[in-house]
Amino acid sequence: MKEVTPPKLGQKLLKWIISEELYDDIDGDLTEVFYNDVSDLSLAAAKRHYLWSVLSSTRNIHLRRKLKFYNPLVMYKNYFKITFRNILKYKGYSFINIFGLALGMASCLLILLFVHNERSFDGFHEKKSNIYRLDEVQTFGAVSAQKVALSMYPMGPNLMADYPQIIDFTRYWTLNRTLLNIDNVSHYLENPVRVDTSFLRIFDFKLIQGDRDKALNESLNILLSESNAERIYGSENPMGKIIDIPDFGAQFTVAGVFEDVPDNSHLQFDALVSTLAWDDEQRKNAWGSNYLNTYLELANNVDIDALESKFNDFLVKFMGEESLDYYELFLQPLNEVHLGSMDITHDYNNHKKFSKASVDIFLILAFFVLLIASINFMNLSTARAATRSREVGVRKSVGAFKGQITGQFVIESIMLALLALVVAIGMCYGAINTLINIIDRDLSMNLFFEPFNLMLVLVTAVLIGSLSGIYPAFVMSRFNPVTALKGNGSTGGRSTFRSVLVVFQFAIAIAIIIGTTIATRQLNFMQNLDLGFDKELVVSIDMYGDTNEKYDVLRSELNNQPSIIGVTGTSQKLGNNLHQTSTTYELDTARVNGSSSFVIVDSNFFDFYKMEIVEGRALSKDFAADGQGRSFIVNESLAKELGADGSDVLGMPFHFGGTDTLGAIVGIVKDFNYNKLNLKVEPLFMSNQPWASWSEINVKIKPGNIQASLEEIEAVWTSLFPQRPFEYEFLDDHIDAMYQSEQQLTQVISILSGLSIIIASLGLFGLASFTVRQRLKEMGIRKVLGASVSQIVMLLSKRFTVLVLIAFIVAAPLTYYLMNDWLEGYTYKITVGVTVFLIVGVGSWLIALLTVSIQSLRAAKSNPVDTLRIE
Amino acid sequence: MKGIHLGEFEELVLLAVATLEDNAYAVSIQSELHERVDRKANISAIHTALYRMEDKGFLESTRGGAEAKRGGKNKRLFRVTTYGYNMLKESKATRESFWNVLPQISTN
């Protein structure tokens, strides 16, 4: 039979509620009532009644509680007072302690701001989880398979028509810089874009004026950004104004003004027009050419894999079976476009594209810097315990419990951490503008003052304070009051735990610094590498339809200027991904189709860029075929693809773009790097076509007075094209800009690595000063017995040297392994030599030594009379 | 006497203790209140009143009478102190002084 007893839980609760003194009596009463109830009522009712009585007993929670021996409030006030007195008493150490932690916190906070900004990209679109970008995997013969962000004009509408899962689509088709004519005044639009009427339904770009449902429905409507509207029309209302665009031979009506596109949108545009103006039959069937982005809005809960698997059928339906040899379609979620597109090329509309891996590196670094700073904090607090032994002794002999002492020091450490947080936020305000300049991101400190984030930051600070305060607090609460009061209660002389922490700190700092050095060297190496063409002192100027008509005049006028060495034209800018086309060439047996990157260039292109011709000849005006577009120069990579060893390629019949009459290959140019150096050189051919329309001209100027040369070019330009404002860019600047994301990364990491060594040294400095202080008496005796200053400095520095050495031994192999792994991703890379390790190792040892010797020197120079006097 | 009050519930409990003589403890007081004045009080409320009044000096207590149905725990038996009796008398006197001057009302 089941034993009838009052509910266990209730009993436990009661014991907890009622004071020890009364517990027996009250428990007895409740039990008696319970058994009375059991006999009078049911067991369940008795139990319920019992529990109710227990709960009501909470009113008696204060009854006969043990008398309190102290008033906690007074004690806490005392803790605060003592904390601040200690901060002020040891100003130097307090400064090191708080400043070090603040430095760590500040860098962590700033990095979190940056990471938050990176992750906020495209987050403001309400339908973001249903929006996908349509991408392709292209595999064209010679060129290895590559993911591209491009798609074809007819894809969007036909996908939507064929698949009910796709509920909307919009294309995003950029225009070049466009000249506007407004009341006979010329303005440029930097970045106008053609989009479908659905664009403003899918994306939530804010409209200030105009109807977002209708504005893009008219083929000759244009929407301007707020700042553009202001620039062009001032305070006038731009709505309904007519804009003449000579390049299109049409007049557009302003039908809306949108808020400037926020910096954290991967799409950036300053004007929108409708694709309707370009939507002719031929274009609607232009399968095979990729020149725009397509975004799809899917219905809720669509199975992406299932949808993607149907895309092959789609391609076959519209482009035939063989299209599968070249194309594959896939969907990229909108939230991955900004951070997940590093492996996608031809990705022209991806503002400030960044790699997720780098964001992760930043997060890891932020964590480690904060860790170093927290370890410092802990180390210094522990070391300082020595100076507080008397206080602990007094507190204990007056009757403090161990727990109270621990509590006191944990609270103190939390207060210091909060103080450091305040300092850190101040530092952030000081540094944020510099950071914004370096990484070119729109960051704001306001983010921290949102309630939730503020709570999070505060909680983290408290956590750091309590975690790093617990160890020193335990050390101090263990002090034996008798020895502590005698004045030598310090146990901090030789703590393995603290040594391990120092080693750990320095290992992290050394690893970060070596890593940064290698990354920086790799970057410099890539930027200074001989690209295979001469990029110095080349000015590139964009060309347009009207300026191309006068290309010959422009070229000869420019060539007449004294400081201009040469002029050439090209259809694509070097320092980019180049477009690809299909090729046709003849082997002994048959005609073969392939594919390659290409550039249409002026005949003097090779001389202009001092490119090395390995075999055959360069293009030249002297050969009629060259000017007629029937001569081709291939690079070594393409030559290898075409012929077995590349030697029998000269004279091979060759053409591109599906032409029937083939020309011939006349020369092989040495591979040159037209794209970023972490990509390998793809097959490429160049030729001059009679129909060529240059996208830019390149002007080589004499070294010396660059300003004067630019003025000469401007004079010629303006005299020929008064309607076109003169604008230019230096080619080497453009090429450097390709590495911008890497540069930002290394710059920020350099700062972090500097900070990490500073923080680590600060910690060492504080630690050394305490060790020295503890051994002052010993040093005094040594001096009396005849030790020299240098002997004493050596003695004190020896231990720290060993610690740094151990740290180095731990950090070096790990870093070597990690950095080699990182360098694998680059085609052109530096070799990781011993030198970096030696320099950083010796460097950090010297820094540590310097830090320590400043302190040891003080001990060594002190007068033994002073140090030995006090007993 | 300023500051020492006898609440209504406290007065009832005090009277119950006086009535129960040698067997006055929380449970018996609870049933006494229930039977005599039909007052259903939770045991914890009685505890509060008892220990408060003990602190004030109206009651004193001894332990005794452990029983199995109490889980082997002793009872806390209460007794009214002289001070407590005085308090009760004073309270009664106060009320009567009002009744004495109250205009006679027919209660039939």
Cα(A273)–Cα(A196) distance, rounded to whole angstroms? 8
**Taking each helix axis from N to C terminus, what angle separates A740-774 and A789-823, rounded to the nearest 10 degrees?**
150
Min Cα distance A83 → chain B (Å) is: 41
Domain count of chain B? 1
Min Cα distance A773 → chain B (Å) is: 58
What is the chain A residue with the closest CA to B72? Answer: A28
Residue B55 lies in a domain: yes
Among B27, B29, B43, B63, most A C-beta atoms within 10 A, so best to mutate, is B43
Cα(A703)–Cα(A538) distance, rounded to whole angstroms? 10
Among A3, A29, A36, A50, most B C-beta atoms within 10 A, so best to mutate, is A29
CB contact under 8 A, B69 and A64: no
Residue B101 lies in a domain: no
Structure tokens at A320: 């035939």
Residue B33 has pLDDT above 80, yes or no: yes
CB contact under 8 A, B47 and A64: no
CB contact under 8 A, B25 and A29: yes
Chain B residues closer than 8 Å to A52 by CB: 42
Task: Tell me how many degrees the CA angle A89-A95-A96 measures, rounded to the nearest 5.
Answer: 120
CB contact under 8 A, A31 and B76: no
What is the chain A residue with the closest CA to B75? Answer: A25
CB contact under 8 A, B43 and A30: yes
**Which pLDDT score is estimated for B2?**
45
Residue B2 lies in a domain: no
Among A4, A25, A50, most B C-beta atoms within 10 A, so best to mutate, is A25
What is the chain A residue with the closest CA to B55? Answer: A64
Specify the DSSP element, H or E, that contains A698: strand A696-701
pLDDT tens, position by position, A134-165? 999 987 655 567 888 989 999 999 999 999 99
Radius of gyration of chain A (CA): 38
**Which pLDDT score is estimated for A67?**
55
Considering CB atoms only, which of B25, B69, B73 is closest to A27? B73
What is the chain A residue with the closest CA to B51? Answer: A63
**Which pLDDT score is estimated for A535?**
82
Cα distance from N-terminal residue to C-terminal residue, chain B: 38
Strands A653-656 and A242-245 come out as unpaired
**Which pLDDT score is estimated for A681?**
80
CB contact under 8 A, A24 and B74: yes
Chain A residues closer than 8 Å to B67 by CB: 32
What is the chain A residue with the closest CA to B61? Answer: A25
Residue B1 has pLDDT above 60, yes or no: no
Cβ pairs A/B, distance under 8 A: 67
Min Cα distance B83 → chain A (Å) is: 21
**Which pLDDT score is estimated for A68?**
52
Residue B104 lies in a domain: no
CB contact under 8 A, B47 and A27: no
Task: Tell me how many degrees the CA angle A121-A127-A128 measures, rounded to the nearest 5.
Answer: 30
CB contact under 8 A, B70 and A32: yes
DSSP strands (E only) in A226-353: 242-245, 250-258, 271-274, 290-298, 327-333, 344-345
**Which pLDDT score is estimated for A489?**
46
Min Cα distance A65 → chain B (Å) is: 12
Cα(A194)–Cα(A177) distance, rounded to whole angstroms? 13
Which residues in A have their CB inside 8 Å of a CB on B?
6, 22, 24-33, 35-36, 52-53, 56-57, 59-60, 63-64
What is the chain A residue with the closest CA to B41? Answer: A53
What is the chain A residue with the closest CA to B26? Answer: A29
Cα(A533)–Cα(A611) distance, rounded to whole angstroms? 5
* Burial category of A62 from C-beta neighbours within 10 Å (exposed 0-12, middle 13-18, buried 19 and up): exposed
Considering CB atoms only, which of A24, A33, A63 is closest to B43? A33
Distances (CA, A) of A477 to A394, A500, A501: 12, 22, 21
CB contact under 8 A, B27 and A63: no
Strands A564-570 and A166-174 come out as unpaired
pLDDT tens, position by position, A801-848? 888 889 999 999 999 998 888 888 777 788 888 888 888 888 888 888
* Burial category of A161 from C-beta neighbours within 10 Å (exposed 0-12, middle 13-18, buried 19 and up): exposed
Count CB-CB contacts under 10 A for residue A75.
15
B30 touching A (Cβ < 8 Å): yes
B27 touching A (Cβ < 8 Å): yes
Considering CB atoms only, which of A25, A57, A64 is closest to B44? A57
Among A3, A15, A32, most B C-beta atoms within 10 A, so best to mutate, is A32
Structure tokens at A227: 């700042």
CB contact under 8 A, B47 and A29: yes
Considering CB atoms only, which of A22, A29, A52 is closest to B27? A29
pTM of the model: 0.71
Considering CB atoms only, which of A25, A32, A57 is closest to B69? A32
Residue B107 has pLDDT above 50, yes or no: yes
Cα(A839)–Cα(A513) distance, rounded to whole angstroms? 11
Among B31, B63, B67, B70, most A C-beta atoms within 10 A, so best to mutate, is B70
**Consecutive 10-residue averages of pLDDT for chain A (871 residues):** 76 85 86 88 88 88 66 78 87 87 92 90 93 88 74 93 93 87 84 92 92 89 93 90 86 93 93 90 86 93 92 92 87 93 84 85 88 86 77 84 85 91 93 86 84 90 89 81 67 67 86 87 81 85 85 88 89 78 76 81 87 85 82 86 70 78 85 77 85 87 87 89 84 81 79 83 78 78 86 82 89 90 81 86 86 80 76 52
Residue B37 lies in a domain: yes
Task: Identify the three-state secondary structure at position A716.
Answer: helix
Q: Residue A700: name the closest of A728, A723, A673 by CA.
A: A728
Residue B87 lies in a domain: yes
Dihedral angle over CA of A194, A199, A204, A207, nearest 10: 60
Residue B91 sits in a domain whose CATH number is 1.10.10.10
B43 touching A (Cβ < 8 Å): yes
Min Cα distance B33 → chain A (Å) is: 15
What is the chain A residue with the closest CA to B76? Answer: A25
Chain B residues closer than 8 Å to A6 by CB: 71
DSSP strands (E only) in A702-858: 729-730
In sequence order, the 6+-apart residues with CB closer than 8 A to the CB of A731 are: A535, A538, A539, A540, A574, A575, A698
Task: Identify the three-state secondary structure at position A125.
Answer: coil
Residue B107 lies in a domain: no
Chain A residues closer than 8 Å to B26 by CB: 25-26, 29
B62 touching A (Cβ < 8 Å): no
Chain B residues closer than 8 Å to A29 by CB: 25-27, 43, 47, 70, 75-76
CB contact under 8 A, B48 and A25: no
CB contact under 8 A, B30 and A33: yes
Residue B66 lies in a domain: yes
Q: What residues make up the domain containing B45? A: 8-96
* Burial category of B39 from C-beta neighbours within 10 Å (exposed 0-12, middle 13-18, buried 19 and up): middle
What is the chain B residue with the closest CA to A14? Answer: B44
